[in-house]
Every structure is written in C-alpha cells, then in structure tokens.
Structure 1
Amino acid sequence: MVQIDGKKAVRANCVHQFPQCRAPVLSKGRFLSNDLENLVLQTWKTWMLTAGLAAQFACGGPASDTPDTLEQPQGVALTGSNAVQRLDTAPLAKGVDVTALVALNYHSLALAPTLQGNALFSPGSASSIIQTSDGGYAFTGTFKALGTDDILLVKLDAFLNVQWAYAYGTSNAESGVEVRQTSDGGFMIAGQIFQNATTNFDFYLVRTDSTGNPYWQLSNGGTLHEYATAMEVTPDGGCIIVGKTQSNLGYQNAYMVKFSSVGAVQWSRSFSSGDSGTYEFRGVANVPGGGYVAVGSRQVKVSSSTWETFGYAVKVNSAGSTLFEVSSGRFAGLEAVTATSTGYVAVGYIYPVSGADFYAVRFSPTGGTLWAWSLNAGTNGDYLSDVKLASDGNYVVTGTISPTLTQQNLRLMKLDNSGIRLWDFYPYASTVNTNGQSLAITSDGGFINSGGYTDSTNTWYLLLSKFSP
C-alpha cells in the first residue's frame, strides 16, 4: 500500500439553478490516489486505490462550462480504514474458441482475437469503459469510500496502469452508469443518487476536466424515481441520458433527458402506453446526421390480466420529437444499441420458453426489422450486454452465459451486417467465473472489455481484458 502525498481531494458543492435540476447536498469529489507500481500486460495484478491527501479548491472550469451558482467545496481525506489493500492474484486459465462447437449462422470461421493483457481491481465494479484520446482508458462504476456508495472514475494509461481516480457523490449513495470523454479531454459521467431513506432516486451527472477535477455535478428528477441506465455525449457538447421514471401513480415510463454542456435541461421525454405497463430504456446512441435511438423493453397488455414484455426501440430527432417507436421480440429486452447511417444494431435477451437466450436485432433507419436472431448458449440464462461498431464495419458484442445456477462465463462474438457470427469464443476457461458488461473499440482495431470475476469466496472483482483486432 502506498500513500501519495500532495494529491488533492475535492468535495465540490456546486449548486445549479436549472429547470428540473436539484442541487446535491454536501456533494463531494473525492480523489483516490493510486498505487504507482508497474502493471505489465500479460500478467494479473489486483489494483487497489489508496487514499490521497484532502484539500479544498474552487469548483470551476471553462467559462462555457460554469454553472449559475458555485459554492466553496470541502475536502475529505480517505485514510486509515478507508484505504484499500492491494493484492496479487494468479493468472486465469484461457478459454476456447466456440466456432467449432456451435456452427449456427457462420458465414466464415474468421480468426478470433487474442487476449493481449488484462487487469483485476478490487473492490468495485465498472459499468462503462472507454478508450481516451491519449490512448489510455477510463472507466466508471461504484466504490464505497466513506460508508456509502459513490460514483468512481478511474483513468488508466495504455498499459492499464492507474494514473488517477476520483469518487463523486453526496452523503447519500450514488452509483456510476456511463462515462464518455468530452471534446476538451474532460469527462461526462452519468449515474443515479438515492435521495432519501425511502429509496427515491434521481439522475446524477458529473462534468470534469481531463484530470478528474469536477467542474460541476447535479441531480435531476421528480418526486419519485428517475433511474439512469445509459448516456452519450452529443455533438453540441451536451449529453443525453436515458432510463426510466416512475409517476405518482406508480407507472414506470421510459425516460430520456437532453442536457446542455453546462448541465441545463434542454428537453425531456417519457414514453408509455398510458396504463400500468413498465417501459424502460437501457441503451442510447447518437444517430449519424442528428437525433438519437434508444432501446430497452416495454410491457404490453394482451388481455385483461396478462402482460407480455417486448424489446423496445425509439428514435427521436435532435429536439426530442419521435421519428419511430417499435417493438421487437416477444418476451425480450434490449440492453445496448449502436448506430450507423444504414441502421441500428441492438442486443439483449429473449425468453423463448424458460431461461434467457442471447438476442440481437438490426433496425432500418425508419424502424423496420432487417434481421433478428436468438441463441441458446447456456441452460440457466444468457444475455448480451453491449455492442460496438468495429473498425472494419462489423459489430463486436459482449455477453454472459450461465451454464449452472452458480457459474457465469464471459462470451464474445463479432457479427456482420447480416447478423452472421464471424467469430465466437470464451476468453477464459469455463471453470473461471466471469461476465461481460461493457466494450470499447480501441485505436489499434481491437477492443477492451470490462466485466466481473469472482473467486472461490464469491468475492466479485472488476476484470478488464484487452484484445487484438
């Protein structure tokens, strides 16, 4: 464990006077310095974030990114019992290429990528990972720093060495959902905050500079629940967040909010059938030429007492007006989407009989279904959690299978524009408990996957895995 002196911690209390925005109470941006020992690719190390020296500094940023009202932040030191121990772990066994095991829908048996390196972090989880403009990486997730969960942002170099880390939040609990880099090299982070003891939660949004210092952070929501599930930075420097909202009547509606570059709400939309069915967005993407496409699930009432869940996709223009709203797959849900000028590929799960199967669908720019397929990979529930457009114009997908009730395995595949699997493999052995959560395409044509790994004591760790093209 290494204590780094001179690192700064900030508890940024930035109050915003924006429509539909509530200022967080006692908000903090807590810096966690890192253990600076080298992490070498091709080896396993567990990275623990140690406490840094707390200090106050003014919350600010570029003039274009300054909220209406700022208050002096307060520093919080993370030392003693809040410091985290670092451990090493042995390499995990490699997995197998499943192209020879499952021959369905193969156009060609293209060479699957190789695992170039990986890193293990504990404790914590990462719901989103990106490659940064300097060739490194950043991920967001959740980290318990001072007794409650906080939003965690960690910056890595190209070799997966920790460069710096921050935690953001309030005296309540927060969790990080998505991180994206902004055009000035800073970061936008979306998540949610639990506002009170009745588990009322709202959207939470943080804007930082390139080293993690927060320019501002805010919450957004109504009287009940607003739950963020995905976010994208928009071409105008703002962002769009999607998720779900619960009305006073208890109905859950799919929800999207467009924010400006300074956190002002520009517009918001909710989607529902007007009855008690549950609607939810789980993924969102910028549409080339303008607008956004969001995917998730919705419940449809098929009789007076029967509901069925379908995959759900909505496209809106840059002002939030609906261009299409369609369903896809009976007993299905969509978790992520990526967009090109010729269509939108979404992935998730479907329940054909019992237990979830992989599900993927491609929509046309007008909402028509170009293709859809499902795959029964395990016996106890399978799901695809993310999809990204690869540098060769195909799609890389991450997911998880459950061969037993207590076992999970990370599974990766590449699809072409027709939905044909070009390769399909497990990067780790079936005896190793792993899963897939988020992907990022890398500048070398490869990709990095964030997910989880659990050991024999059922302790979950964050697992990052870098793959060749």
Structure 2
Amino acid sequence: MIIRFTISTLFWVAAIPSAIGQAEPLAFTYGDPGITERGIKVVEDEEGNFLFIGDRYIQLDTSGVQPTNVDLEYFKINPEGEVLWSGYLDSTIADGGISVLAESGGGYTLLAKHCDNVLGGVGCNRQNPRLYRIDEEGNILWHTTYYSGFIGIAANFVKTPDGGYVIMGMTTKYSELGDLFLLKVDANGAEVWEATVPTTGGRAFDVAPAPGGGYYIAGSSIETNGRTAMVSKISEAGEVLWTQFYGKASFTGKLLQPFGDGFGLLLTNITSDFFPKELMRMDANGALIWEKDLISDIDRPTSAVATENGVVVTGLDELVSTDNKVAKVVKYDLNGNLVWAKTHDPYPDHYEHPTDIISTENGFVIAGFTELADTVIYVYPEDLMLFLIDPDGDLDSLEVPNAVTETNTLHTVIVYPNPASDFVAFQLSDNRNESYELLIFNTLGQPCETRRFSGPGFRLDRNGLSDGLYYFEIRSLKNELIAKGKLILE
C-alpha cells in the first residue's frame, strides 16, 4: 500500500534560523518529530528538484531496540528545500529503502528491501530486493521482487544504456557461503541476465558503470588472511571479466567512477574503529595506483562522490571535549592530496550523520539524519537531514542582501611525528600569533593533558602518556574549535 500526503498533514520541515545580518543556510530536517527516521539517499532530477528517501521505524522487536516494521518514505523537494509532496510505502510491501534514480521525462525508480520472512518478532530472517517505478507525483506504476525464497541483500543499482537497470548485491541462492550478484533487468523490471562472483561470507558494497562499457561491482569476502575488499568487472552481457582483491578489511564501501582513467573505492566501516578507513584509486583494470588512510582527516567516512579533478568524501567527526558529532566534508585531488576539509554543525543540539553526497551544478547536496545519541538503537527520535554546500565545501545559503556567511571550518594542522615516541609537534596552517589551548583525550574521552601555547606551533613532550591512540583538539581561549585529529604514541 502506498500512502501519499503533503507537508501540511503528517510531516514537517525545519530550516536553520539565521541571525540578523546573516545569510540563511540551506539546511533542513524532515519527518515526524515522534518517530525514528533515517535518511538514506538523494537524487536530483532534470528539473533541479530532489527526491530524498529514508526509513520510518514504526515498530520494534521483543527486545525493544531493533525494528520489525519499517516503511520506505520519500520527499520531493525543490531547490529551496521546500517539500512539494511526500509519501511512504507501507511495510506490507516495502521494509526500507536502499537507493533511488531519477528517470528521463519524469518519475523515479526506487530500490527497496522487502522482508520475506520475519522470524519470531526479532527481525528479518530473509530479505529480498524490490524495484518500484513511480511517476512524477509519487504514484506506483509497477514493482517487482527478486530472489524470492532466498536471501538477496541489494546494495545499489544503476541505469543501463538501454534504459534498464543492473542491481548489485549478495545472495545465498547458489551457495550458503554467499555470492555477489549483478542482476540485469529491463525498463519494466523483467530479468535479462545474472552474473555471480563466489565469495565466503560475502558483503555487497556498490556498483558503478565502467569506462568503455560494463560494470564494476565491489564487496568483501573472507579470504586466507581474513576479510578483504574486492572488485569485479562484469561485461554488458553479464560475463565476469576479472576480480581483484585489495587486502583491506571492510564491511561497507562506495565505488567512485569516473576517478581519473579508472575508478576509486572508499572503505567506510562506519560502525567500527577497528577497521581501516581507506580511499583507493585503481586503473581501469583494477590495479591499485595509490591508497590513503583517512584516519587523520575524517573519523567515520560514510559516502563520497567523484568530481572532475578529485573526490569529495563526507561523514562524521567526533568532538570529544563536547561529546558531539558533526558533519565532515573532505576533498582530495586525483593523487590523494588533501585539498580542503570542512566541518559543519548545522544542528548544534543533535549529532549530524551524513549518509549520502551528490554533486550538483552549484556544489554538493549532503543527505542523512540527525540524532540525539550516537547509537544503533532505534528508540530515539531522529529526523531526515539535508543541506547544501558550495564547491569549496562551505554551507550554501539563500541570497540575502548584505549577508555574511559563517561556517564552522577547521584549520589544517600538521602533526609530526605521528606515530610518536618522545614528543609530538603541532603546526597550524594559520600563522596568527594568538594563544590556544591543546587538549588530549584517551579513547574513552577522558582528558589526559591540557596545555596552553602561543603562535602557530607547539611541541608536546610525552610526559608519561601510555602507548596507544589519542584524540586532540586545539581551541582558542574563547573555546572556539580550531583543529582536531588523532595521534598515536608507541
């Protein structure tokens, strides 16, 4: 059952208020204040409007923390952030969203997940992918389910040159160990061909078109040395051409294409600090060109988008001293060099959790959700979040005469040596001769050292600090956050 409504009935939208004399940031939240909702994906259509999809968590399991009743919801939003129409698919036909594409001539196609078997009120025992084609007003034209009777966990889908789609995911249809699949369907959702790549305990990440035709699919498998990221190339006819393994443990990831003459892979691992957060660039045949550890630039990368001259990564950063988590956006060039890094906290009373980023004519749109606590538990009210940034990573704003845009932008800081043994030096990119406070925290957020210094540079002697990972923040004497990062003592 599809349920459609306008903003005046069930859902609300809130924009960030601006101070007198300031521009109004293009940042909004959407949803029902009393329900847990999480934004997933956003797409821009031919008219410059957006369709933003997310999940509504309606009912929890017997433990009270995991959802058993989830609706896929969507909002059509104009460039000013106003909702044109919205609706949701009742969980009798959809149990959450995965991705969305805008169609030429109007309308959208949604990739959803459907729970084929609920096990004893404690969650979904068998998941299947479903495609929904909706018109420009949100009415369902058709929907089709795949891998019925088996586990089929979809990760993403893309358009094909003939107007159809390829859906990428993992299935146990052919092996209990799990295979990565790429399923080709026509413009009406009918199956055309299927390609599979055997894995052990496979996880599906993403799919992207390959230069010159065909598709890249990314995932991970448990190999001899443990779980490792992998990419396969599939031809337009469904033939597996090659598979490359990259030796990096990962449960989630994002393909980036085009990325120079080949493609890129972001390993996100957003739920764990024990796995690497890596950005890799490969040539068209999957050979690794370079890899970059993102630990010093962004705490939890969640998504990325390739640009003409690099890649923009988004995610969240942890501000240990204030127990806050804010949105982070980082740009790298084609060689993996840091171009800029910006931090945004448009909702100071909530954590910001980006889940998607897309490029637009005027910059980038970041989608996700706000939350009152950083947790996987679904009992806290959460709302869908959408905000726009310009090509330099700053919060975009409505054009207001004599307005001044203020952004929460951190300075670049060089930390060396890192890892360190006896001492560590901090060098700010801004050479102002001002006074600052350096705060060091352990992984539990407990303060270990606090030092004041003047000028752009400071040397910190170890002074009995134990081996391990530490967080640091540099603040002005007015408590303004100047820079933050991580350091390792060994």
TM over 0.5: same fold? yes
Q: Does 1:133 align with 2:49?
A: no
Change (3 A) 1:214 1:88: closer
Match of 2:466 in 1: none
Which runs of 5 or more structure 1 residues have no equivalent in the other structure?
1-27, 36-49, 51-82, 94-113, 303-307
Q: Residues 141-180 of structure 1 correspond to what in structure 2 (within 5 A)?
A: 141-143=54-56, 148-169=69-90, 171=92, 173-180=94-101
Contact 2:195 2:240 (8 Å CA) reproduced: no
Larger RCO (CA within 8 A; separation ≥ 6): 1
Match of 1:467 in 2: 389
Give the ranges of 4+ consecutive aligned residues of structure 1 lying more than 6 Å apart after TM superposition: none
Worse overlay, 402-411 or 363-372: 402-411
Q: For residues 182 and 431 of structure 1, what CA distance do their matches in structure 2 show?
A: 37
Output the aligned Cα RMSD.
3.0
Q: For residues 290 and 185 of structure 1, what CA distance do their matches in structure 2 show?
A: 26
Contact 1:232 1:239 (8 Å CA) reproduced: yes
Q: Residues 368-407 of structure 1 correspond to what in structure 2 (within 5 A)?
A: 368-377=287-296, 382-390=299-307, 392-402=308-318, 407=324
Match of 1:236 in 2: 162
Match of 2:332 in 1: 415
Q: For residues 267 and 92 of structure 1, what CA distance do their matches in structure 2 show?
A: 53
Superposed displacement of residue 375, structure 1: 2.3
Contact 2:16 2:25 (8 Å CA) reproduced: no
Change (3 A) 1:317 1:458: same
Which runs of 5 or more structure 2 residues have no equivalent in the other structure?
60-67, 120-124, 374-378, 392-490
Q: Does 1:33 align with 2:6?
A: yes
Q: With the length of structure 2 as denominator, give the TM-score of the two structures.
A: 0.67
| Bigger Rg over Cα | 2
Q: With the length of structure 1 as denominator, give the TM-score of the two structures.
A: 0.70
Match of 2:441 in 1: none
Match of 2:30 in 1: 121
Please point out which of 237, 240, 250 is paired with 1:322: 240
Superposed displacement of residue 330, structure 1: 2.6
Contact 1:224 1:248 (8 Å CA) reproduced: no
Superposed displacement of residue 331, structure 1: 2.0
**Percent identity of paired positions between Structure 1 and Structure 2:** 20
Cα deviation 1:381-440 (Å, max 9, x = unaligned) = 9432222122x4321111234466975332111111111121112112888511221011
Match of 2:467 in 1: none
Match of 1:448 in 2: 365
Q: For residues 91 and 455 of structure 1, what CA distance do their matches in structure 2 show?
A: 19
Contact 2:207 2:255 (8 Å CA) reproduced: yes
Contact 1:206 1:217 (8 Å CA) reproduced: yes
Superposed displacement of residue 87, structure 1: 7.4
Contact 2:351 2:371 (8 Å CA) reproduced: yes
Q: For residues 345 and 252 of structure 2, what CA distance do their matches in structure 1 show?
A: 25
Change (3 A) 1:453 1:350: closer
Match of 1:7 in 2: none
Aligned residues, how many?
Answer: 362
Q: Residues 39-438 of structure 1 correspond to what in structure 2 (within 5 A)?
A: 50=9, 83-84=10-11, 86=12, 116-123=25-32, 124-143=37-56, 148-169=69-90, 171=92, 173-198=94-119, 199-247=125-173, 250-273=176-199, 277-302=200-225, 308-340=226-258, 342-349=261-268, 355-377=274-296, 382-390=299-307, 392-402=308-318, 407-428=324-345, 432-438=350-356
- Aligned partner of 2:328: which letter? R
Secondary structure, in 3 states, of the residue corresponding to 1:235?
Answer: coil
Secondary structure, in 3 states, of the residue corresponding to 2:277?
Answer: strand
Cα deviation 1:296-319 (Å, max 9, x = unaligned) = 2211134xxxxx111111111111
Task: Give the structure with the larger strand fraction.
Answer: 2
